[in-house]
Amino acid sequence: MNRIKALAALPCGRRSKWVVLALWVVLLVAAAPLASKLTDAQNNEVSSWLPAEAESTKVINEQKDFRPDTTVPAVVVYERSSGLTQADKDAIVADRTMFGTAKGVTGKVEDTTFDKDQKAAQILVPISVKDGGWNDLGDAVDQLKEALKDNPTGLKSYVTGPAGLGADQAESFEGIDGTLLYATLGVVVLILLFTYRSPVLWLLPVISAVGALFSAQAVVYLFTKAGLVVNGQSAAILTVLIFGAGTDYALLLIARYREELHRYEDRHEAMAAAMFRAGPAIVASAATVGVGMLCLMAAEMQSTKGLGPVCALGVLVGLIAMTTLLPALLVIVGRWVFWPVRPQFEPDAITHDEKGVWARVGRKISGGPRVVWIITAVILGVMTIGLTNLNGDGIANKDSFTNKPQSIHGQEVSERYFPAGSGDPIVVIGKESAAAALIQAIQGTPGIAPGQVHQTGAVGGRVQIEATMIASPDSKAANGTVERVRDSVHGVPDAAAKVGGGTATRMDITSASEHDDKVIIPLILLVVLIVLGLLLRAVVAPLVLIATVVLSFAAALGISVFTFEHLLGFKGTDVGFPLFVFVFLVALGIDYNVFLMSRVHEESKRHGTRRGMQIGLAATGGVITSAGLVLASTFAVLGTLPIVAFAEMGFTVALGVLLDTFIVRSVLVTALTLDIGQKIWWPSKLARHPDEDDPEPGGDDARESVLVG
């Protein structure tokens, strides 16, 4: 125990605080240039996002043998509803020639295809994609668009297909790091100002969070040198996670420090006591999030697997910053930082408000806890009804943006005049000796456009064949076509054929995501249960807390699905949506239960469980509410991106955090604990600790509770 106290006091000693500050200054000077390199170290290649063992991923990897660079087709579509003029056709011929010289265009630009009524034309332009992934598409697509500006008046033109879509997605993410950083910083500052009502105090957690972010980005960058894969998704979530979780830890520590400043005249002793009392809950919270994130490494999806260690590293660095740099800064600046409401040395003061909102909530619930938790659980259960309409099969291209970029307009025009699968063909790679049999098998498969099966390359005894589908590549009909093609070519003797392409890739992503849901969700629940059991030294309490968070997750998902479908007009959700929401809501949402129940556990040793529950709620209610608002706001920032998948995830996580903060933690957990009583700590000795009668508000028992807290 003495060693733990000494360790807790280390960052805030009279001399050691300056050492801690100096070490952080040196660290940040070294970290800043490394952090700036993280964006360039991102790997946004298609294969870095996909399930490694999927058939479509193997096709993408084998395609490199047929062409040095991975290529993504752009489809340039022209339309004049009254019919193409000769001037239009001349311009189209000139454009095709110009496309061949555009930056990033590789190989042969396909011949122009006209529809049967001569009202539209399209050209397939292969664009090279290197290590930058979809970021490499932007410059090439911009050049294609530039070439279209001088076309005859009235001739409409669009750049669509996989390359056009990818370029629009890349543009949506352009500047995402800065946008998320400043937007997240803005909401954190506003909430901290509201929470502390101090023009100065908010600076210290923000400085600590920014230091944590730069340090985490530097650490993650160094890990990329050791093989860690980071993409745009994981880098964006890292920023949100550090600000959200890091600020939560800061709020809890500052709240406990302010309490201890009433008990201790010396601020160094007050901070040491705060670290000793609040430290276990903060560490347990970070461990829950960090280990929960590491569970993502069991995923088949490469993007999900890579997200795990990135976020775990971020949480670890955030924890270190908030338990070293922040305490040092707080004791260096002294009590004045709380101005205009400076905590005074008053050892007999009651530091939690017995007349405040959360104290009143606790007393109200104690009058009939069983009725309260049953009604609350039923209401949350009703909220889950929206899950019956959850469409987790993915979002069609045309529905994937909150706005409507050029690539989507172009796709709609192309589908009016040409086979919907144009520009995103099925790709089959097999033995060259079986090429004729493969072509025959593919062409005879229902769903393949007549005469649209071609051999596009042969190398090293392997052949590449491409086939155009009749259906749109992101439709269920296209999925059926790919399944039939796979059955057909797998049945060709001695062909060793594999089927890939955009549709096959989406199908394999869906299959991998379903696997990940079944494996990772139970794994995270088990990890969280173990961490809570170790923290609370009980079995019943962790099971109760897990059940409440899962119910909260289901309710948030149900409300969100209803909102997406009926209010926002979104069509479906991303295949990874349920898993990501679960990870963030359970791993992060359990924080508030950890903060609350660790304090209740502490108070229950002195006053029994029921009184300890009321004191714990009154003492932590304000800080947990502020923490929930911070975390919800930081995730809501994701909704500023024009990508439906990110908007949906940000909305749902923010909603779930608010449910955890205001309903699950304050009402449901409180009512369950008051109803179960000391048995909630079974099988520990505390389960046999008798409950005391509730004292009068502001009485001696209430005063004593603060002195031990």
pLDDT one-digit tens code per residue, 357-394: 888 888 889 888 999 999 999 999 999 998 888 876 77
Examine the pLDDT at 527 and tell me if it is beyond 80.
yes
For the chain, what percent of residues have pLDDT higher than 90? 22
Peptide bond into 309 cis (omega under 30): no
698: alpha, beta or left, given left = phi > 0 and alpha = psi -120 to 50? Answer: left
Examine the pLDDT at 477 and tell me if it is beyond 70.
yes
Examine the pLDDT at 351 and tell me if it is beyond 70.
no
The DSSP letter of residue 121 is: E
Peptide bond into 73 cis (omega under 30): no
Task: Please state, rounded to an integer, the average pLDDT across all residues of the chain.
Answer: 83
Least confident of 135-139, 142-146, 590-594, 599-603: 135-139
DSSP string, 506-562: HHHHHHHHHHHHHHHHHHHHHHHHHHHHHHHT-SHHHHHHHHHHHHHHHHHHHHHHH
Examine the pLDDT at 70 and tell me if it is beyond 80.
no
In this prediction, residue 249 carries a pLDDT of: 87
Examine the pLDDT at 12 and tell me if it is beyond 70.
yes
- CATH code at 1-41+177-351: 1.20.1640.10
Q: Provide the token pair at 521.
A: 């969700």
Q: What would you report as the CA-atom Rg of the chain, rounded to the nearest whole angstrom?
A: 29
pLDDT in tens, 409-437: 888 888 888 887 777 889 999 999 999 99
Residue with tokens 């955009």: 502
Q: How confident is the model at residue 692 (pLDDT cuts 50, 70, 90)?
A: low
Examine the pLDDT at 222 and tell me if it is beyond 80.
yes
Closest CA to 667 of 364, 354, 285, 383: 364
Q: Give the whole-angstrom CA distance, residue 370 versus residue 566.
A: 34
Please name the helix (run of DSSP H) or strand (run of DSSP E) that holds residue 466, with its range, or none.
strand 462-469
User: Is 451 buried (19+), middle (13-18) or exposed (0-12) by CB count in 10 A?
Assistant: exposed
> Between these two residues, 697 and 543, which has the higher pLDDT value?
543
CA distances from 55 to 469, 487, 500, 543 (A): 19, 13, 7, 40
In this prediction, residue 702 carries a pLDDT of: 38
| Rounded average pLDDT over 58-74 | 80
In this prediction, residue 46 carries a pLDDT of: 65
In this prediction, residue 174 carries a pLDDT of: 67
SS3 426: strand
Query: CATH classification of 67-173 is 3.30.70.1320, yes or no?
Result: yes
441: alpha, beta or left, given left = phi > 0 and alpha = psi -120 to 50? Answer: alpha
CATH 3.30.70.1320 residue ranges for the chain: 67-173, 425-500
For the chain, what percent of residues have pLDDT higher than 70? 90
The identity of residue 553, as a single letter, is F
The DSSP letter of residue 639 is: G
Q: Provide the token pair at 374.
A: 């049953």
> Between these two residues, 281 and 440, which has the higher pLDDT value?
440
| Rounded average pLDDT over 253-261 | 86
Q: How confident is the model at residue 696 (pLDDT cuts 50, 70, 90)?
A: very low
Q: Decide: 602 and 427 in contact? Cβ < 8 Å.
A: no
Q: Give the whole-angstrom CA distance, residue 602 versus residue 400.
A: 48
The reported pTM is 0.78
Q: Decide: 318 and 286 in contact? Cβ < 8 Å.
A: yes
In this prediction, residue 7 carries a pLDDT of: 67
Torsions phi, psi for 441 (to 5 deg): -65, -40
500: alpha, beta or left, given left = phi > 0 and alpha = psi -120 to 50? Answer: beta
The identity of residue 264, as a single letter, is Y
In this prediction, residue 703 carries a pLDDT of: 35
The DSSP letter of residue 683 is: T
Q: Decide: 314 and 220 in contact? Cβ < 8 Å.
A: yes
Examine the pLDDT at 71 and tell me if it is beyond 50.
yes
Residue with tokens 């210290």: 204
The DSSP letter of residue 80 is: -
DSSP string, 302-326: HHHHHHHHHHHHHHHHHHHIIIIIH
Q: How confident is the model at residue 665 (pLDDT cuts 50, 70, 90)?
A: confident
In this prediction, residue 353 carries a pLDDT of: 56
For helices 302-320 and 267-294, angle between their N-to-C axes, nearest 10 degrees: 170
| Rounded average pLDDT over 439-449 | 92
User: Is 540 buried (19+), middle (13-18) or exposed (0-12) by CB count in 10 A?
Assistant: middle
> Domain 425-500: which topology?
Alpha-Beta Plaits (3.30.70)
> Between these two residues, 595 and 461, which has the higher pLDDT value?
461
CATH 1.20.1640.10 residue ranges for the chain: 1-41+177-351
Q: What angle do CA 673, 679, 685 make, to 5 degrees?
A: 125
Q: How confident is the model at residue 195 (pLDDT cuts 50, 70, 90)?
A: confident
The DSSP letter of residue 69 is: S
The identity of residue 657, as a single letter, is V
In this prediction, residue 80 carries a pLDDT of: 93
* Cα torsion angle, 646, 650, 656, 660, sign: positive
- CATH code at 354-403+536-692: 1.20.1640
